[in-house]
Homo-oligomer: A and B are copies of this chain.
Amino acid sequence: MVLPFDILEYNQRLKGTKQRMADKGIEVLLITDPANMNYLSGYDAWSFYVHQMMVIIIDEPQPLWIGRFQDANGARATTWIYDENVIAYPDYYVHSTTHHPMDFIAEILTQIGEGKRNIGVEMDHYYFTGKALEQLKKGLPDAKFHDGSLLVNQVRMIKSDQEIEYMRRAAKIAELAMTRGVESIRPGVRECDTAADIYYNLVKGTPEFGGEYPAIVPLLPTGENTSIPHLTWTDRPFVEGNAVIVELAGCYKRYHVPLARTVSIGQPSEKLQYLAPVVLEGIQNVLLAAKPGVTCGDLEEVWRKSIKKHGFEKEARLGYSVGLNYPPDWGEHTASIRKGDMTVLQPNMTFHLIPALWFNTDGIEISETFRVTETGCEQFTNYPQELIIRDHLDLSGQIS
């Protein structure tokens, strides 16, 4: 078995997690977020559509993995957890109205004497359902439950050099997919054709390293739909005059580097021509301001002042901490670049800065993913930032 990180790095992550558990009075942490399971153990499989869990016990060196019988081999194959700590529930617990996996898990915790302790659960994480919470509470009536949401995510915020290296590879994949995707956009080509080109490159990766599935599919809103960021592609053909927003992320070892650009097929609208420099100036100002010691809220203020000069305001946050993840989101749900966020930037924090502007019938997205360095910040991708214009030369097939 080859783990993506040194065992010492996993030990460090576990130590950081236990430190935070101790701070919050949590003795047993039940981890159901696939990214957090991966972060601490290496576990990597598309098995999060059934209930599964990693258990961290504050005074035990080894975690437990508990999941479906047919997935237990995957836990043995992809983690550093001892085989005897991989515990499987039978298949009749899967999508059943009579047997719930959390009943099985509660029984295991009781059997090993952990059922009466201070137990943390990831209350607001994907895949930890209301029912899961209720069944655990029923099965462990003597436990004291605590909200362990974002506990591991906080540990994840500052990346190691190896994690940064994986993000650099993800960045190469993002550049490649953006290049090929933009090249394919022309009148008559369908949105799904371009999405296919993008996906092909995201998954194939480079000759040196392959790509993985991103936690969000490539988004490709077109025409009026550029006002709606989260619609996915259709099979309608592009037409001359359309604007197209391309938002994608390269992914390597589950680490993401997102990248968004706005493309005009032929001459851009006057509005887009006016908006693009405003957004670019704002991005440059934020990137110039980003350095250790500054808060996420400070960055928002820089952006706000920058666009206010031109008469714009933005409703949504500008960005968020990014890295390791599984569907449905590549964001880490810790720091957001928005008003009032007091997160202090530290070296090797990583953010997706996506200060999109959306209006009623159009919008613009240009983004950069960056790493905080010792003295400032560094972009992961190297892709022209301006509004991309697919002119007649491009459209005739000769790509510049």
Residue ranges of A at the interface with B (Cβ–Cβ < 8 Å): 44-49, 69-71, 73-74, 77-78, 90-92, 94-97, 100, 121, 123-134, 147, 149-150, 190-193, 195-197, 199-201, 203-205, 209-213, 216-217, 219, 225, 227-235, 315-317, 320, 327-329, 331, 333, 336, 338-339, 358, 360
Contacts and interface: CB of A to CB of B under 8 A. Distances in A.
A133 B130 CA distance: 6
Contact of A230 (B46, B130, B197, B232): B46
B235 A209 contact: yes
B124 A228 contact: no
Contacts of A45: 228, 230-232
Q: So how many copies of this chain end up in the complex?
A: 2
A122 to B, nearest CB: 8
Contacts of A78: 231
A231 B190 contact: no
A170 B78 CA distance: 33
Lowest 4 CB-CB distances: which A-B pairs, in order? A210-B235, A192-B210, A130-B133, A124-B131
B219 A192 contact: no
A100 B124 CA distance: 10
Contacts of A94: 316-317, 336
A55 B394 CA distance: 47
A147 B129 CA distance: 12
A232 B46 contact: yes
A231 B316 contact: no
19 contacts: A44-B231, A46-B217, A46-B328, A48-B328, A49-B328, A91-B316, A123-B131, A124-B132, A129-B130, A130-B130, A130-B132, A130-B133, A190-B210, A192-B211, A193-B210, A195-B204, A196-B204, A205-B235, A327-B327
A315 B128 contact: no
A74 B124 CA distance: 24
A212 B192 CA distance: 8
A97 B338 CA distance: 13
Which of A45, A47, A49, A329 has the most chain B CB within a 10 Å cutoff?
A49
A70 B131 contact: no
Contacts of A199: 196, 199-200, 203
